[in-house]
Amino acid sequence: MEALEWGQFMKILVTGHLGYIGTVLTPSLLSRGHEVVGLDADLFQHCTFAGTVTQVPSIGRDIRSFVADEASALEQLRGFDAVIHLAGLSNDPLGDYRPELTETINAESSIQLATLAKQAGIPRFLFASSCSNYGASGDSFINESGRFNPVTPYGRSKVAVEQAVAPMADETFSPTFLRASTAYGLSPRIRFDLVVNNLTAWAHTTGEVHLKSDGSPWRPIVHVADIAHAYTAIVEADRTQIHNEAFNIGQTSENYQIRDIAEIVRDVVPNSIVGFADGASPDVRNYRVDCNYIATKLHGWKPQWTVRRGIEELYDAYQKNAVTLEEFEGEKYKRIAHIRSRIAKGELTEDLFSRQSEVA
């Protein structure tokens, strides 16, 4: 099979296209001339913040029910040039809510989707992995060959998929694993639980940069737009550059201790101070990530954002949209609170399936 050439127009299935990254990635792919079809259960359909959710043809299915009907899934998958698989539960409180759901949705269904994609003859499979794979890794820089040490259901699910899908690689099927740093930045479906987004929101609404840990853990961080551009660069790259590769997505210079991020937020948001929640303690998740490898493979991808610029962008948007503490810490935007509210209203089952009929 011939390798896909850089810039060739492709038909791409994006799972999770209605989520935090997906609503930024989809218009990016369309702007490059690609045909995009989405697949999303749209759990957070009531959480649009600012901007527009780009509409594309969509398979309105939960990923679990989609892969469970193998014959139907194979029929719908045939003809795609690539799958970009973002769908999953991406929030630690959601992971702790029902850990078995994270296992089923994030791991088992992802592995089955990759299996079906290969059977359908799709040559490329881009998986939304995470630097959470490294978990508790200490203060030294870790690169793509570093040891996995996940400490959350979310992190463990990502490791499981990488370990199961990598052996599927052959001359006709090229998986690539994008281990994203902790994301931040504006999206139509913004996540307020992410550290930079969250600290900036606290500072804007209360005047306090509210730390829920002691601020000592290290995190690599990356803007959501830079993540989207990484997917675009990888899906368009020559096969020899991305075949069965794992890439840390971010910039090595953008590793920070949480307290350093808090101090930058304080500097950006006028009259704010750094404060700590009662009982704030060290977070077991602690990792500094070396992101230099991707630059040796993909010369077309260069991150554009720094955390200070991202905080300035967020603060401006929070002001314009009059964000309140009740909104971002309540059921309107807080992932676990929103899901519990939808369950209480009878819109979702306890297993997070929609009570309305799915649209094939």
pLDDT given for residue 357 in this prediction = 53
Residue 8's pLDDT band, with cuts at 50, 70 and 90, is confident
> Count of residues for the chain?
360
Sign of the torsion formed by the C-alpha atoms of 310, 315, 321 and 326 = positive
Residue with more model confidence, 233 or 138: 233
3-state SS class at 300:
coil
Give the whole-angstrom CA distance, residue 29 versus residue 36.
7
Which of these ranges, 97-101, 116-120, 131-135, has the smallest mean pLDDT? Answer: 97-101
Q: Mean pLDDT check: name the lowest of 2-6, 61-65, 137-141.
A: 2-6
Residue 1 has pLDDT above 60, yes or no: no
Residues in a beta bridge with 142: 289
268 and 201 in contact (C-beta within 8 Å)?
A: no
pLDDT for residue 4 is more than 50? no
Q: Region 58-82: what's the mean pLDDT?
A: 96
Judged against a pLDDT cut of 90, whether residue 171 lies above it is answered with yes
Residues of the chain with pLDDT > 90, as a percent, come to: 79
pLDDT at 317 > cutoff 70: yes
Q: What is the mean pLDDT of residues 332-359?
A: 85
pLDDT band at 280 (very low <50, low <70, confident <90, very high): low
Q: Is the pLDDT of residue 2 over 50?
A: no
Q: Please determine, for residue 285, whether its predicted confidence score (pLDDT) is greater than 80.
A: no
Instruction: Kindly state the DSSP code that residue 358 receives in the 8-state scheme.
Output: P
pLDDT at 50: 86
Q: Which range among 130-144, 154-168, 222-236, 246-260 shows the weakest confidence by mean pLDDT?
A: 130-144
**Backbone angles phi and psi of 246, in degrees to 5:** -115, 135
- Give the per-residue pLDDT at 6: 46
How far is residue 94's CA from residue 284's CA, in Å, rounded to a whole number? 18
At 56 the three-state DSSP class reads coil
Confidence of residue 143 (pLDDT cuts 50, 70, 90): very high
- pLDDT(330) > 60: yes
Task: Extract the tokens encoding 292.
Answer: 């230099």
pLDDT at 45: 87
Mean pLDDT within 165-188: 97
Rounded to the nearest integer, the mean pLDDT of the chain is 92
pLDDT at 299: 86
* C-alpha closest to that of 258 among 298, 208, 296, 220: 220
* Residue 356: predicted pLDDT: 73
CATH topology of domain 11-344: Rossmann fold (3.40.50)
pLDDT at 173 over 70: yes
Q: Is the pLDDT of residue 300 over 90?
A: no
Phi, psi (5° rounding) for residue 347? -80, -30
The pLDDT, as a whole number, for residue 360 is: 41
With 0.85 as the threshold, say if the pTM is over it: yes
323, 205 Cβ separation under 8 angstroms: yes
Look at 7 and 249; give whichever has higher pLDDT.
249
The Cα–Cα gap between 250 and 30 comes to: 23
Q: What is the pLDDT of residues 107-132, one digit of tens each?
A: 999 999 999 999 999 999 999 999 99
pLDDT exceeds cutoff 50 at 343: yes
Residue 5 has pLDDT above 70, yes or no: no
Query: Which range, of 7-21, 162-176, 232-246, averages the lowest pLDDT?
Result: 7-21
Domain ranges, ordered by start, for the chain = 11-344
Contact 55, 14 (CB under 8 A): no
